[in-house]
Amino acid sequence: MKLFFSAAQLSHRPQQYFRFGRIGPALENPNRMEALAEALAGLGLERAEPSDHGRAPILAVHDSAYVQFLETIWEMWRQLPDAGPEALPNIHPYRGAGSDLVRHDRARNTGPIGLIGHHVGDMSCAIGPGTWSAAYASAQTALSGAAALLAGERRALALCRPPGHHCYRDRANGFCFLNNAAIAAEALRTRFARVAILDFDTHHGDGTQAIFYARGDILVASCHTDPADYYPFFAGFADERGHGAGEGANLNIPLSPGADNAAYLAAIEGLSDAVRRFGADALIVSAGWDAHKDDPLSKLAVTSDAFPRIGEVIARLALPTLIVQEGGYSLAAIADAAPSFTRAFLAHHR
């Protein structure tokens, strides 16, 4: 199995993370990737440099004004009088019922403060000088993994950073700037008629869900901590099942805080059954290690033992599979979970 990783992804170096009313050090930082790359080195995977597939596959998922915003906001920001060290929003325009009275169309003509309020959903997406190049490289890493499957390989691992599954078509959220898994899924559709995304990160992949919510050709199946009182709070509930042509092609299995390995694995079996019923021709795994009890964001009681079993369940689907890196913030937990998952996946995948 090829492991795609680009050092350009390390150029996003956020300094700040806002949580519980406090600014602290950024949790989603380059150290995560260094720990992951080192932990996976022992598996003997073939390291491959991602190739540049250009912007077209990114624009197949993301709004062009949003991509332009990501590319230009830092230059605009640093020219502000008294600009802070990173670009962060201080306005969050209303998008709910009655939001037709909020002039979102004005965002195209506004300055950096309005633009970042329009395009960045929360305070965990600090943008600095290297953010766009890292996000672009992360999407290319996922696309290179997809290209390997399109060329006939059975499996590939895309070590993406920054992660992607909270990113919407036109909005960054939750450490995510481009939705790598969604971009890869759309690329896989050029050969595979039905693509499934199985997401076992401890957070619901709200961006991925929204992007494909009305699509019947891409299944989004996720298990995650119950969003009733957990990020992303406003999506990820069991009654969200897709709409229109996508009715039934979205599955959420929320887990109660404190859920253990047995509950987590039962949920992943449920996702795996759904992928089988859907008749997927190819699989993308949104792999996050933050369900681990030692993760600073985890509310679950999941231990290291769960991850090789997840690798086996997913391998038994026997589909062309692209593993896309999402979350995981304890360096010790990811250094344990990622290689044990991958080793078990490789041992059972045909």
The residues that are catalytic are: 166
Contact present, 14 and 135 (Cβ < 8 Å): no
Member of 86, 122, 240, 290 binding Zn ion (CB under 5 A): 290
Q: How far is the CB of 203 from Zn ion (least distance, A)?
A: 4
**What is the DSSP code (8-state) at residue 49?**
P
139 to 168, contacts with Zn ion by CB under 5 A? none
Q: How far from 155 is each of 116, 126, 315, CA to CA, in Å?
A: 37, 33, 10
Please say whether the beta carbons of 174 and 231 come within 8 A: yes
For Zn ion, the closer of residues 240 and 290 by Cβ is 290
Q: Which of residues 196-225 bind Zn ion (CB under 5 A)?
A: 201, 203
**Is 339 among the residues that bind Zn ion (CB under 5 A)?**
no
Q: Quick one: 232 or 242, whose CB is closer to Zn ion?
A: 232
Residue 119 tokens read as 């395009």
Give min distance, CB of 69 to Zn ion, in A. Answer: 24
Structure tokens at 313: 């369940």
Q: Return the number of other C-beta atoms located less than 10 Å from residue 63's C-beta.
A: 14
Q: Which of residues 270-289 bind Zn ion (CB under 5 A)?
A: 288
Q: For residues 86 and 326, which CB has a smaller minimum distance to Zn ion in the complex?
A: 326
Task: Give strand pairing partners of 321.
Answer: 155, 283
Q: Is 89 in the site for Zn ion (CB under 5 A)?
A: no
Piece in contact with Zn ion (CB under 5 A), picked from 101-109, 138-146, 261-269, 290-298 = 290-298
CB of 227 to Zn ion, least distance (A): 12
- Residues 6 or more apart from 138 whose CB is under 8 A from it? 6, 9, 160, 161, 162, 163, 164, 177, 178, 180
Q: Are 131 and 85 in contact (CB under 8 A)?
A: no
Residue of 339, 254, 275 lying closest to 40 (CA atoms): 339
Report in angstroms how near the CB of residue 202 gets to Zn ion at its nearest. Answer: 5
CB of 109 to Zn ion, least distance (A): 35
Residue whose beta carbon is closest to Zn ion: 327
Contact call for residue 327 and Zn ion (CB under 5 A) = yes
Closer residue to Zn ion (CB): 147 or 323? 323
Residues that bind Zn ion (CB under 5 A): 201, 203, 288, 290, 327
